[in-house]
Amino acid sequence: MSDEEIQSDGGPAEAISFVYGFPDPDSFPIGDLIAACQTALREKGRTALQYGPTRGYGPLLDYLLAKFQRDEGLTLDRENLLISAGASQALDMICCLFTRPGDTVLVEAPTYHETLMILRDYGLNILQVPLDEKGLLVGELEQRLEWLAATGRRPKFIYVIPDFQNPSGLTLSLERREKLIALAHRYETLIVEDDVYRDLCYEARYAGSTLPSLYALDEGRTVLRLGSFSKIIAAGLRLGWIMAAPQWLNRLMDSGLAAAAGGANPFVSHVVADYCLRGLLEPHIATLVARYRLKRDTMLAALDANMPAEVSWTRPMGGFFVWLTLPPGLAAQEVRTEGEQRGITFLPGPPFFAEGGGENNVRLAFSYLSPQDIEKGVAVLGEVTRKRTNK
Amino acid sequence: MSDEEIQSDGGPAEAISFVYGFPDPDSFPIGDLIAACQTALREKGRTALQYGPTRGYGPLLDYLLAKFQRDEGLTLDRENLLISAGASQALDMICCLFTRPGDTVLVEAPTYHETLMILRDYGLNILQVPLDEKGLLVGELEQRLEWLAATGRRPKFIYVIPDFQNPSGLTLSLERREKLIALAHRYETLIVEDDVYRDLCYEARYAGSTLPSLYALDEGRTVLRLGSFSKIIAAGLRLGWIMAAPQWLNRLMDSGLAAAAGGANPFVSHVVADYCLRGLLEPHIATLVARYRLKRDTMLAALDANMPAEVSWTRPMGGFFVWLTLPPGLAAQEVRTEGEQRGITFLPGPPFFAEGGGENNVRLAFSYLSPQDIEKGVAVLGEVTRKRTNK
């Protein structure tokens, strides 16, 4: 993407944009990826460039299995994994194969806005369940499930981002994870666990969140878990995976798209496998954690220093986002309009809500900007907000 | 894909398999792609590895525009193109956004079997229209369209592979192309033109079929045309494009998948753009044409020499496939069973038919095998078929 093209999506040119939930391009391991391309093509070009097995490239699957074992104590085999062209393509496949228009799905409020777009493309009826600082309100979820059951409907899945959620930055508590899984079993629905930020935890050891995934807690019975290399190597590679019980994965494997495509990107899979199998991913994640932790700390300190008392925000333990709540009556859109005149921009809350809300919320991405720009941008945001709050 | 994995899909190990409609792995331009990876990552790593613009990487779009202008005299602009993760992903997007379960679509009989799988995944009602040596029988198509209209149904699209069709190898005549387009207009339906073999024409100049595409004939009003780099550079890259009027493309561009994915594979797009912009694709296509022409000629000569008079087959002007018709009463499955005992295998006809048929048809792919194996394999096929024909 050229800078020009970035700007066309993210606000006025030259603005400090808190819009992009993008990895930091200064973090891309360009030299190591050049070497991985050379090795993959030179040693395995005939398979890297051909249609591949539907499940994905075997050595990449095996690398991931070893990683899950080491980082999370999860014992899986290849039958539990499928390589996808990123987490969004995985969600798209799940919608195609497990839903029909008019089916109901449940999401967090707020949730990742581009997931909502995918769900809407499939004509799904989307219900939202609010969050608090411990994540999804499982009591509210239970009420909606009960009401659906009473009206003869069973949702197809509950879409949840348990770690360092996009857009809120919040982490679902262990107690609620367990309750969520119990509810999914009781009401016979699936959980789609979008877990793309897990490795970017700024409070624990280098390679993982402190809490087990929904998949691990459930032993994979009712959870389809999505992961990605987008945040931990590079988004432009478009490579991720789905972890699930064979009964779910086999339906995805038998799909026309999986068959016709011959596996999600064999070439990129070979490159990423070479990179990972040389032991480069683990130290790279450690540098990413240090890099993004500094940005998060910079943003939180700048918010502490600049925002008026009436504004609150989340303190994410990982991921890319901080979520602000402006005082009632102060619309995020109004702050953005003035902010853009002063050289900053961000996404207001409403696109992150399936059924409305978020008018006084702000999503700030800290992943893409430099610490200097984060400080400058938050200072401007603070000025604009203070002025509007004091009116 | 390992040889073992290939064998698990394509018949017994050590067999000569006519199953694979794969590019010849000896043709992959490995050295040039290594160089393209280096250049793309070294010079543009920060954009190649990031989320990209939804439509695709600009220089790649511009290369394709120049190619269509030069090869086909087609004047287009970027608004007419969208980069996809291969033609199958493009078809998948079209099904997601332009159809709902229960909608009707029309296909050729036979047609590409994995397209049928995708259409079924979307719950579509698939009707088939037979072919003869000039391709789709437009009179039969008109009857089906008339019958649908009389029962108040309008098909969402007609899926056609006009050049060197998979599986038949046939090419749709110019007269029928024009009638097909007129019918699509009269009955207000779209045409999805799957055009992935166009450059692999063995009868004309290096870079194209002698017949204009449906898109060109229609000036793009009612045609969505799919193309791919899979057959002309490498299938493992998973990169293709959709050519259509902005009114259709904009719906695809606004989709959740397109937005969330940030463009189809920015990294591979940069690599392919570098390869193409250095002028490497045109001479490469010329070598592919020579390579596959030899294989096609070898197969046709072997069929002439070995098959009994009761068997007929197509004489494709391009592409990867020859389609055999065995005499009535001789099932392709029966020939395959005995063939596999003698070390050859192929796909029988039925999977290529949406509504039944093909029991005495055989698809032979000549793209993947060496000329020596083609000769050996057809000799065995001839023996088995002669024996069964004389019974």
**ipTM for the whole complex:** 0.94
Residue B207 has pLDDT above 50, yes or no: no
Mean pLDDT of all residues in B194-219: 84
The Cα–Cα gap between A161 and A133 comes to 14
Q: Is the pLDDT of residue B12 over 80?
A: no
B235, closest residue in chain A (CA to CA): A50
3-state secondary structure chain A: CCHHHHHHHHCCCCCEECCCCCCCHHHCCHHHHHHHHHHHHHHHHHHHCCCCCCCCCHHHHHHHHHHHHHHHCCCCCHHHEEEECCHHHHHHHHHHHHCCCCCEEEEEECCCHHHHHHHHHCCCEEEEEEEECCEECHHHHHHHHHHHHHCCCCCCEEEECCCCCCCCCCCCCHHHHHHHHHHHHHCCCEEEEECCCCCCECCCCCCCCCCCCHHHHHCCCCEEEEEECCCCCCHHHCCEEEECCHHHHHHHHCCHHHHHHCCCCHHHHHHHHHHHHCCCHHHHHHHHHHHHHHHHHHHHHHHHHHCCCCCEECCCCECCEEEEECCCCCCHHHHHHHHHHCCEECEECHHHCCCCCCCCEEEEECCCCCHHHHHHHHHHHHHHHHHHHCC
- Cα atoms in the 13 Å half-sphere on the side-chain side of A191: 32
CA B206 to chain A, closest CA, distance in angstroms equals 23
Mean pLDDT in residue range B250-279 = 92
Tell if the CB–CB gap between B236 and A53 is shorter than 8 Å: no
**Average pLDDT of span B122-140:** 97
Identify the sign of the CA torsion A365, A370, A375, A380: negative
Residue B39 pLDDT level (bands cut at 50, 70, 90): very high
As given in the structure block, the two tokens for residue B374 are 């083609």
Question: What confidence score (pLDDT) does residue A391 get?
Answer: 55
**In this predicted structure, what is the pLDDT of residue B306?**
97
Reported as a pLDDT band with limits 50, 70 and 90, residue B209 is: low
Considering only CB atoms, which chain A residues are within 8 Å of B27? none
B136 membership: H or E segment, kind and range: strand B135-136
Q: Which residue, among A60, A176, A185, has the nearest Cα to A108 in the 3D structure? A: A176
How distant, in Å, are the alpha carbons of A355, B123, B172 from that of B155? 33, 14, 21
Contacts of A25 in chain B (CB under 8 A): 46-47, 49-50
Q: Which of residues B5 and A33 earns the better pLDDT score? A: A33
**From the CA of B354, how many Å to the nearest CA of chain A?**
14
User: Burial level of B217, CB count in 10 A (0-12/13-18/19+)?
Assistant: middle
pLDDT digit string, tens, across residues B97-112: 999 999 999 999 999 9
Helices and strands, counts by H and E, chain B:
14, 14
Taking only Cα atoms into account, the Rg of chain A, rounded to an integer number of angstroms, comes to 21
Q: What is the pLDDT of residue B8?
A: 42
- Cβ of A1 within 8 Å of Cβ of B266? The answer is yes
Q: What is the pLDDT of residue A182?
A: 98
Q: Which amino acid is at A351?
A: P
Average pLDDT of B117-140? 97
Evaluated on CA atoms A59, A65, A68, A70, the torsion sign reads negative
Residue A272 and residue A247 in contact, taking contact as beta carbons nearer than 8 Å: no
Phi-psi map region of A213: left, alpha, beta (phi>0 left; psi -120 to 50 alpha): beta
Does position B63 have pLDDT exceeding 90, yes or no?
yes
Facing A86 at nearest CB: one of B123, B256, B261: B261
Rounded-to-integer distance, Cα A293 and Cα A296, Å: 5
- A118:B23 CB<8 A: no
Residue B1 and residue A52: Cβ atoms within 8 Å?
yes
Give residue A210's pLDDT.
77
Please return the burial class of A179, using the count of CB atoms within 10 Å of its CB with bins 0-12, 13-18 and 19+.
middle
The nearest alpha carbon in chain B to A231 belongs to B50
Q: Which residues of chain A have pLDDT under 70?
A: 1-13, 204-209, 391
Beta partners for B364?
B322
Which residues from chain A sit within 8 angstroms of residue B1, using beta carbons?
A: 47, 50-53, 262-263, 266
CA–CA min distance B286, chain A (Å) = 19
Nearest CA in chain B to A260: B114
Contact B151, B143 (CB under 8 A): no
Within 10 Å of residue A150's Cβ, how many Cβ atoms? 8
Mean pLDDT of B123-148: 97
For the whole model, what pTM was predicted? 0.95
pLDDT category at B198 given cuts 50, 70, 90 is: very high
For A1, the closest of B26, B53, B117 (CB atoms) is B53
Share above pLDDT 90 across residues of chain B, in percent, rounded to a whole number: 90
Cβ proximity of B238 and B265 under 8 Å: yes
Bond prior to A110 in cis (omega within 30° of 0): yes
pLDDT interval class at B258 (50, 70, 90)? confident
At residue B9, does pLDDT exceed 80?
A: no
Is there a contact between A50 and B92 if contact means CB atoms under 8 Å apart?
Answer: no
- What is d(CA A40, CA A59) in angstroms, rounded to the nearest whole number? 12
Q: What is the DSSP letter of B28?
A: -
